């Protein structure tokens, strides 16, 4: 089994504002850059066979100091992106709850199969993220791989690794730059 270190990107201004980022390409803020540097120092003693990241700027900017310290390139995989929030991207969560009250209630009740307008379901996110992690595990059957991604994307992996239904992914989203270590077996 492959050892994975999954890391959610550093902080963005949209994190602070309570906006749904989804696949919008939002950069790290100053604190997010500091978090990435601090994480690189924290993981200094770890050996990684490879560093992977989502193609979104906030994930790449978090991965770069880590990869640079390890002398490894950041390998980009678009499948590691955050959930596509469709029309909800860029909106404040409280505004979404008010404007889309009925759909919000449906999605809260069944996030694995209910999507925001023009977006993805949690089940669809899990399918693409798990396929990416399966491929990474096949490429690195021994050793560890570092994967910098997004909160919900990582939460779907946590669900699979811990045997939690993917519909509960919103309950296990890690904090920004919190490393989550797991054994990953390809399917």
Residues 10, 58 contacting (CB under 8 angstroms): yes
Q: Which positions are annotated as active-site residues?
A: 9, 82
Phi and psi dihedrals of 155, rounded to 5? -60, -35
Q: Name the phi and psi angles at 11, rounded to 5.
A: -65, 145
pLDDT tens sequence for the chain (187 residues): 899 999 999 999 999 999 999 999 999 999 999 999 999 999 999 999 999 999 999 999 999 999 999 999 999 999 999 999 999 999 999 999 999 999 999 999 999 999 999 999 999 999 999 999 999 999 999 889 999 999 999 999 999 999 999 999 999 999 999 999 999 988 8
Q: For residue 171, what are the contacts with CB-CB under 8 A and spacing of at least 6?
A: 155
The 3 state secondary structure assigned to 93-151 is HHHHHHHCHHHHHHHHHCCCCCCCCCCCCHHHHHHHHHHHHHHHHHHCCCCEEEEEECH
Tokens of 61: 């900017």
Judge contact between 41 and 16, C-beta under 8 A: no
- CATH number attached to the domain at 2-184: 3.40.50.1240
Q: Is 85 helix (H, G, I), strand (E, B) or coil?
A: coil
Burial class of 13 by CB neighbour count within 10 A (0 to 12, 13 to 18, 19+): middle
18, 92 in Cβ contact below 8 A?
yes
Do the strands 50-53 and 144-149 form a parallel or antiparallel pair, or are they unpaired?
parallel
């Amino acid at each position: 089994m492959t050892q994975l270190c999954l890391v959610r990107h550093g902080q963005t201004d949209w994190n602070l504002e309570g906006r749904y980022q989804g696949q919008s390409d939002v950069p790290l803020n100053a604190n997010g850059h500091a978090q990435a540097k601090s994480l690189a120092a924290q993981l200094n003693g770890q050996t990684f066979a490879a560093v992977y990241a989502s193609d979104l700027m906030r994930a790449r900017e978090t991965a770069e100091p880590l990869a640079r310290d390890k002398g490894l390139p950041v390998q980009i995989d678009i499948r590691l992106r955050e959930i596509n929030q469709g029309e909800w991207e860029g909106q404040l969560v409280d505004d979404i709850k008010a404007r889309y009250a009925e759909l919000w209630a449906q999605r809260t009740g069944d996030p694995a199969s209910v999507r925001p307008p023009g977006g993805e379901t949690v089940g669809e996110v899990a399918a693409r993220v798990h396929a990416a992690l399966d491929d990474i595990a096949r490429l690195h059957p021994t050793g560890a791989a570092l994967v910098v991604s997004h909160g919900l994307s990582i939460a779907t992996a946590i669900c699979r690794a811990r045997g939690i239904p993917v519909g509960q992914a919103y309950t296990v989203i890690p904090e920004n730059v919190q490393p989550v270590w797991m054994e990953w077996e390809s399917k």
